[in-house]
Structure 1
Amino acid sequence: MIVGLAFSAVSRAEVITYPGPAGETSSSNWQVQAGGQKVDVYAARVLDPPFAGKQWDYGGDYSFANFDMSGRVEVRIVSKQSLKNLVIRPRSFAIQPTVEDDHTLVLTLEEPRKLSIEPDGRKAPLLLFANPLETDEVRSNDENVVYFGPGVQKPEKIVLESNQTLYLAGGSVVKAEVLARGNNIRICGRGILDGSDWQWRKGPVGNLIAVRNSTNVEITGITLRGSSHWSIVPKHCQGVTIRNVKLCNSRVQNDDGINPCNSQDVLITDCFIRSDDDCVALKGLDFGGRNNNVERITVENCILWCDRARIFLLGHESRAQYMRNITLRNLDIIHFTMTPFLLEPGEDMRLQDITIEDIRIHGEGQRQFIRLRPVVNQY
């Protein structure tokens, strides 16, 4: 971890960077500095076999970078690609960069932001994640903490139980999937949880983060990369908060971002999701288990990018009695291809009290904005 401070008459700026670990190949397409400090840039793959060469144009592999900040911070970015057609999304942030030459841009951040720096649309963008300063107080010697410091590590499967915390320090790349079962569970830090080593649907748990039959769960601050199947899946849970989580997917199909299944009181806020499959899908069917209802789900203040499927899917694979009290608000959809909001309740399940408000949308897709109709379940 590297800390830098800058002072002015207007504000006090602080930047914290996390050097990339040995053994992790950096992106060759981008160089980033924040507050004068180097920010290491990571690579994310797109469409591994057997999906490589499909008809969808995802723009190829892409890059992402994280740092923490407060105050007013200048960010300098060098791109291997020409910046003649530069676009910074979401447009709603109204970021006005200075393009110094054909490959260099400078922008100023007044607050933490999640941005997609796009020299040529979907082709090899940089996802830039400027996080707030970390406030988690986690001790590596606490018996209730599963702690991963900087470096590349491959535990493959991590199991969490009641009152445990999984902490991924900045500069860590942890190649594993997580199974959490219990109450009062936290997953936090500034590290990367990486599923890229597993082929499609071959991971040791089945999801990058599987939360089962749990209450009071918090997932915050980390980055997920290259899920082999659905990414974050709370199933039969109550009281789940997912905050400031960054998902860098589209390596395989069926890599849904966040799928609350048969769960209640779920908050998804200040997240960035890029996925091949649905960014957020609510499911009301547990195969061979209880079909608990899905209710009081809020998705807000997020940035969403779906390469092939839907931004939101409500109703498929569901035989619960109802989904209700669902709120989707203050969202930036920066890329989509299919209908962004697909509300298709299966069989006798009811959709009730669904609010969609303050949505800003850009995408290549030419579909309906919302599709609402009952369907016969395919499962």
Structure 2
Amino acid sequence: MKAGDTRRALAKRWLIRLAVPLAVAALVVPGAGPAGAAPARHYTGTEYDLGGATRPIDGPQAGVDALAGQISASTDATLADLAREQATLPYSRPDAARPGAPPSVETYPRPDSQAASDQYSTSVWQLGRRHDSVTYTVAARRPGNRELDTSWTSFSFTGPVMVAVRKLSGSATGCLVRPTADAIRPWFVGDTCYFLLTRPANLSVEFAPNTTTPVLHPMLVFANPPESDVPSPNDPNVLYFGPGVHYLGPNVTLHSNETIYLAGGAWVEGAFLGIDVQNVVIKGRGIIDGLFMDTGNQAENKQQPGLIDIRCDNGGDPARTCATSPTSRNVLIDGVTLVDGPRFNVRALSEYTVIRNVKIIGWWINTDGIVAGDKSLVENNFVKDNEDSLKLFWGDSVVRDNVVWQLENGAPFMLSWNIEQDSANFHVYDNDVIHVEQYNAPTQGVFDSRHAGKGHLQRYLFENIRVEDASYRLFYLNVEHNTWYDPALGYGKFSELIFRNITAPATFTLPSVMNGIDADHGFTDVDLVDLRLGDTCVTDAPGANLQLDPDATDQIRIMKSSRCGGHA
């Protein structure tokens, strides 16, 4: 029997043995329990007040639980408003399998001009049938990138499937699939990593021994839900791109009441700009490629447009004017993949914005991932870039169920970069940071702020954040003087922040820091609750490896509950 026939026979055998029990298990609803109010939790830890004074914590913390409830109630109300706005958009129904839909797999054609990966190939098995899924690759662009390239595949499916990722170059001794919180248990046979999926996921498939930074040849699997609301190519309000390469160039103008659809197999070389637009949809399974704009020079790339840029004006500083006068409104960006953008990827400074299941691969410093305006939902995205991945600048926002692979620069979660407007109510939860490649810049961390603006930023609730392969620094939170802001405009502050149920590795190269300018321009009322470093739930600043500025931090509480390590 030939090697290929052996692999196919093995795949079928495993599919029969494992698909049925896993599909049944997927119907079980975990966590069901008796009704009734939960008892007040007991906390132990330490509070740090202005001047470095400390007080022990031993008992319930009603204020913390109440603040968390207020933030989540506020953002839940925003989600309800956002759903009503989105319901007015054409082709806006979320992608999902129809009830009772039969099992299916959809793969997409590769344009002849785009090479397949020489590192990996991918097949998807369902009901004994094999579907080959195109695996692409993009090479590292910036000198100093710690990786050599990144490969990825994208398909859509309903029902259980088995995914087989074959390593085409080099040897391996095993494999793993991240995020580990997805609890996908692969098995490795010969040169191939096999695993089962019963629901959509954005994943990294890694071959031992190269499973920690730097992973030289990353391999990503984007397993999408089936498309639910595909536009008609005959709709006059739809700009439809079918399979194949489309050369559009920079600054493709977006119009109000317009839908941009990229079918699976579409490869679009273009950058989309919308100014003062309403009711815009950009969706599909296609790819937006920014390589044609890449000059190969960091400084020159700063002048290039983003791949999707929706804002309120065409001059000045959009980060300032769009916050106070958000004239763009009701935007949906869903399902597309963005690669090789030389500048930022998605900047949607519009009210009532949903950014969902977008996949990003970028290489340059200043190639930010995703930033959305007020009243936004950012969910189920995958961001792998070399600048800030998820910017948390404009309030009444929910950021959930995203996966981040952070390159050498920037931060997975950026709370402020000199924001001048007051912002409040951010709920950031159930996100996975699978790799952080930071190693040599002292202003970096997983959670980061470089706040020299005059804005008062408050009411952030981070919970159920899982940090995997990271070793540089966990928190770098600063209100500071810096060279990108005029101090004559005045300085701001942070207050009412909760970091709850955060898991991260045991040790980092640099200590975490929380600094300010003075007592009025720093951090007040910050709670680190159930922060678990390795196997330890921390209860004080030394245990958290956290340095506090005694002159600019007040009411900083570090504590654990009896449920430390579990979900809130």
Which of residues 196, 206, 210 is equivalent to 2:305? Answer: 206
Structure 2 residue aligned with 1:172: 266
> Contact (CA 8 Å) 1:145, 1:167: kept in 2 or not?
yes
Report the Cα offset of residue 203 of structure 1: 8.9
1:280 aligns with 2:390: yes
Q: Secondary structure at the match of 2:181?
A: helix
- Look up the equivalent residue of 2:253 and give its one-letter code: V
Alpha-carbon distance in 1 for matches of 2:256, 2:172: 49
Contact 1:72 1:109 in 2 (8 A): yes
Task: Please say if 1:100 is aligned against 2:199.
Answer: no
TM-align CA RMSD: 2.0
Task: Say which structure is richer in strand.
Answer: 1
- Of the candidates 476, 483, 497, which is equivalent to residue 378 of structure 1? 483
Q: Distance in 2 between matches of 1:167 and 1:75?
A: 27
Partner of residue 3, structure 1: none
Alignment of 1:139-288 (within 5 A): 139-157=232-250, 158-181=252-275, 182-200=277-295, 202=301, 206-213=305-312, 214-235=328-349, 237-250=350-363, 252-260=364-372, 263-283=373-393
The residue correspondences of 1:21-40 to structure 2 (distance < 5 A) are 21-35=111-125, 36-40=130-134
Identity level (%):
29
Report the equivalent of 2:497: none
1:83 aligns with 2:188: no
Instruction: Report how far residue 114 of structure 1 moved.
Output: 1.0
Asked if the contact 1:317/1:378 (under 8 Å) is kept, the reply is no
C-alpha contact 1:230 1:259 (8 A) present in aligned 2: no
More helix by share: 2
Flag structure 1 segments of 5+ consecutive residues without an equivalent. 1-5, 284-293
Offset at residue 376 of structure 1 (A): 2.4
Task: Give 1:318 deviation, angstroms.
Answer: 2.1
Please tell me whether the aligned partners of residues 418 and 454 of structure 2 are also in contact (alpha carbons under 8 angstroms).
no
Distance in 1, Cα, partners of 2:304 & 2:329: 20
Q: Partner letter of residue 286 of structure 2?
A: G
Using structure 1 for the length normalisation, give the TM-score. Answer: 0.88
Using the alignment, how far apart are the partners of 1:194 and 1:204 within structure 2?
17
Deviations 1:27-51 (A, max 9, x none): 11111111210100111221x2xx3
| Segment drifting more, 326-335 vs 79-88 | 79-88
- Contact 2:367 2:387 (8 Å CA) reproduced: yes
Partner of 2:424: 324
Structure 1 consecutive aligned stretches of length 4 or more whose deviation exceeds 4 Å: 6-12, 200-205
Q: For residues 329 and 253 of structure 2, what CA distance do their matches in structure 1 show?
A: 16
Shift of 1:265: 0.6
Residue aligning to 1:74: 162
**Which structure has more RCO (C-alpha within 8 Å, separation ≥ 6)?**
2
Partner of 1:259, secondary structure, is strand
Deviations 1:156-205 (A, max 9, x none): 14211111000000001100000123111000000001101222555996
State the Cα distance separating 1:141 from its structure 2 match.
1.4
Q: How does 1:283-298 map to 2 (within 5 A)?
A: 283=393, 294-298=394-398
TM-score (norm 2): 0.59
Q: Distance in 1 between matches of 2:107 and 2:386?
A: 29
Give per-residue Cα distances to partners, 1:189-228, cap 9 Å, x unaligned.
0000110122255599611000123100000011000111
Q: Does the CA contact (< 8 Å) of 1:114 and 1:128 recur in 2?
A: yes
- The alignment partner of 1:92 has SS state of helix
Task: For residues 237-289 of structure 1, give each alpha carbon's deviation from its aligned partner in whole angstroms, at most 9, with x where no partner exists.
Answer: 10010001110112x221110123xx311110000000011101245xxxxxx
CA distance in 2, matches of 1:228, 1:317: 23
Kindly indicate whether the alpha-carbon contact (under 8 Å) linking 2:293 and 2:304 is maintained by their aligned counterparts in 1.
no
Q: Contact 1:177/1:205 (CA < 8 Å) preserved in 2?
A: no
Deviations 1:115-161 (A, max 9, x none): 10112231202100000000123011111011110001111142111
Q: Which amino acid aligns with 1:226?
A: D
Could you report, residue by residue, the CA deviation over 1:16-71 in whole angstroms, capped at 9, with x for unpaired residues?
A: 0001111111111111111210100111221x2xx32x2x52x2101000000111
Larger Rg: 2
